[in-house]
Amino acid sequence: MGDTGTVAEVRLPTRELREDIAFFTGTLKMRMDMIFPADNPRVAVFSGHGLRLRVERDAPEPPGTIRILCAEPDAFADGARLLQAPNGTRVEIVERDPPLVMPPTEHAFVVRRLRDRAPWVIGRAGMHYRDLVPSRLGGAMIASHIRIPDGGPVPDMVHFHKVGFQLIFCYRGWVDVLYEDQGDVRRLTAGDCFIQPPEIRHRVMEASEGIEVIEIGVPAEHVTEIDHDMTLPTGRLLPDREWQGQKFVHNIAAEADWAPFRIPGLIARDTTIRANTRGVASVMVARRGEGEIPRVVHDADILFGFVMAGTMTLEGEGQAPHPLAPGDAFVIPPQMATRFSQVSDDFELLEVSLPGGFETTLA
């Protein structure tokens, strides 16, 4: 239980201790460390699975729930996944590292405007989060506008995300981050982006005052775990290392080349994310080009847009026109005809698609 000499226990109530001993030692495979008094025991202490329990007759607490995480849960208690101890404690037997579940996308046309004043919520490490797709498309993705009002060191720890895809795009300011096997501190500045492959260890170090980023995660609900053992930086630079088939990407806006976009009348720069995720996703930045912008239809599963500069009007089939300005976001479902109209010369759009390869046709 550690080498400091300090031990923590969780106390559970019981009415008849004798009935609990066989359950905690036999069924749950815990060790009994203490029992007293000898003539009429009313307290027993059990340890195992990283847990120390004090089962005490007539303790005032409710019996509670214990979750036991196993590599092979079906082999732990003869296949039982839900048990109840004689003292009433509920015991759940669950997978220690369950597979990532990708919910099917619930397609919808979404427009989220900054001027509608959606609430900012204080999240991990004191960062402020604004939800850009409240429906989460049925749990398929989460899009967050994140800001840190005060610059300086960020109270973060080495951590990783159990996720299928994750993008960090710097909208304003700068942020310094350490990544596993990617050398020393990397600074993300406005227009730059990171791809954080699944489970890559990282730590946010410092940010400028007023830093804002756009973060996309797939699926919407994914676990963040703290790694207490890894120290960053690792002292290694392994640019070709893959995590679940994806490479770390640090795309720098100032080094980009511009080319025709998938929609005529716009130009775009490719962040190389499609190539480095093996087609899981694509991230493009589009600007106004030359000529008319036609109505188009796409067949991507998820197509997300965030207006970074300038203005436009989003015209969607069966929808009222939506004038958009910086800070506004939208999702266009597959097979819905849409058109970007009244696009200003200084217009700039962040577009994220899953999968990375999809077709766009004139409507």
**270-320 per-position pLDDT tens digit:** 999 999 999 999 999 999 999 999 999 999 999 999 999 999 999 999 999
Give 10-95's CATH code, choosing from 3.40.50.300, 3.90.1150.10, 3.10.180.10, 3.30.420.40.
Answer: 3.10.180.10
Sequence-distant (≥ 6) Cβ neighbours of residue 198 within 8 angstroms: 100, 161, 162, 163, 164, 165, 166, 243, 244, 246
pTM of the model: 0.88
134-156: average pLDDT: 92
DSSP H/E element including 274: helix 273-276
Residue 115 CB coordination number (10 Å): 8
| 39 CB neighbour count, 10 Å cutoff | 5
Reported as a single tens digit per residue, the pLDDT across 171-207 is 999 999 999 999 999 999 999 999 999 999 999 999 9
> pLDDT tens digits for 39-67?
999 999 999 999 999 999 999 999 999 99
Tokens of residue 162, six digits: 């159990």
Each domain of the chain, given as residue ranges in start order, spans 10-95, 110-253, 255-362
- pLDDT of the residue at 118: 75
pLDDT at 249: 97
Q: Which of 237, 231, 167 is nearest to 201 (CA)?
A: 231
Q: What CA–CA distance (Å, rounded) separates 172 from 209?
A: 10
Angle, CA of 134, 244 and 69, to the nearest 5°: 75
Q: Which CATH architecture has domain 110-253?
A: Sandwich (2.60)
- 255-362 falls under which CATH superfamily? Jelly Rolls (2.60.120.10)
Common-topology check for domains 10-95 and 110-253: no
Instruction: For residue 125, name the pLDDT band (cuts at 50, 70, 90).
Output: low
Residue 1 has what pLDDT?
Answer: 42
Q: Which residues pair with 91 in a beta bridge?
A: 66, 83
The dihedral through the CA atoms of 248, 252, 255, 258 has a sign that is positive
